[in-house]
Amino acid sequence: MNSREKILSAVIANQPELVPLPELSSFERNASGCSDKFVAMLKSVGGFFYYVSSYDEIINILLSVNGENKKIISTVTELTAYYSEEFLNNPQISNIHDIDVAVLKGRFGVAENGAIWLTDQEMRQRALPFICQHLAVILNADSIIPTMHEAYELISKVTYDFATFIAGPSKTADIEQSLVIGAHGPRSMTVFVMINDQ
């Protein structure tokens, strides 16, 4: 008997009688008042936040915060200045290891924890939102939902090979519980909430 068979037969011999799964519908919420809560939670997990109404506005903010000579990469086609199909198609580590700012679109934000859902379609390269020094995410104002329960309702309607929730910049408190922002991933996370998507 190989290990697979050994384990599976031990499981079937030892598992208790079947008990049913619980009903989860009572946890769902309506979406009213979500945006304010999202902003508050995003700030509490160390994120920065701007309401914007155009992509130009985003570019201006990025330039004013980061200065001129930074390697800014975007997977958002509307940000033409930072978008390069050729760059995004090159998966070499040498290509992406020194990115200063990555700008991506998020699918939706979760009000209860400030997390934003991104799939590999928005990332183009999975390492992108992790390896950059600073991360910026653009979110539509109407894509903020109350809790993780609604999140998985939405997620059930999309396909991905890899996807992640990101809530704020990379951080650690491993040294005496002192919070330090910028562990291995981005040192900052900025969220642009687009009020009138152009």
Partner 1 sequence: MENSTKDHAELAQDFNRDEDRVNWHDETLWFIRQKRDKTAHQIPEWEALREAASQIKNNVLSNLHNYLVLFEKNAVTNGIVVHWAADASEHNKIVHKLISEANVNRMVKSKSMLTEECGLNEYLAEHGIEVIDSDLGERIVQLAEEPPSHIVLPCIHKKKEEIGEIFHKHLGIEANISDPQFLTETARGHLREIFLTRKVALTGVNFAIAETGEFVVCTNEGNADMGAHLADVHIASMGIEKLIPERKHLGVFLRLLTRSATGQPITTYSSHFKKPRDGKKMHVILVDNGRTVQLGRKDFRNSLKCIRCAACMNTCPVYRRSGGHSYHTAVAGPIGSILAPNLDMKKYADLPFASTLCGSCSNVCPVKIDIHEQLYKWRQVLVKNGYAPAAKKVGMQLMTWTLSSPGFYHTVGKVGRLVMKHAPFAVNNKLNPWFKQRDMPYPPAESFNEWYAKNEGKTHR
Give residues 24-53 in contact with partner 1 (rule: CB under 8 A): 24, 26-27, 41, 44-45
Residues paired with residue 110 on neighbouring β-strands, in sequence order: 115, 145
Which of the ranges 62-70, 82-90, 101-109, 152-160 carries the binding residues for partner 1, by CB under 8 A? 152-160
174 half-sphere exposure, CB direction, 13 A CA radius: 6
Which of the ranges 52-60, 71-79, 80-88, 121-129 carries the binding residues for partner 1, by CB under 8 A? 121-129
* Range 51-70, binding partner 1 (CB under 8 A): none
Instruction: State the minimum distance, in angstroms, from the CB of residue 2 to partner 1.
Output: 7
Instruction: State the minimum distance, in angstroms, from the CB of residue 146 to partner 1.
Output: 11
Q: How many of the other CB atoms lie within 10 Å of CB of 184? A: 9
CA distance 64 to 4: 58
Phi, psi of 48 (to 5 degrees): -100, 160
Instruction: State the minimum distance, in angstroms, from the CB of residue 31 to partner 1.
Output: 15
Among 15, 32, 64, 198, binds partner 1 (CB under 8 A): 15
Which H or E run includes 189?
Answer: strand 188-194
Nearer to partner 1 (CB atom), residue 103 or residue 131 = 131
Among 126, 140, 141, 142, binds partner 1 (CB under 8 A): 126
Among 34, 38, 58, 113, binds partner 1 (CB under 8 A): 113
Binding to partner 1 by residue 158, rule CB under 8 A?
no
In 3D, which of 101, 68, 71 has the Cα closest to residue 186? 101
H runs (alpha helix) in 45-133? 55-66, 85-88, 93-96, 120-123, 128-131
Alpha-carbon radius of gyration of the chain: 20
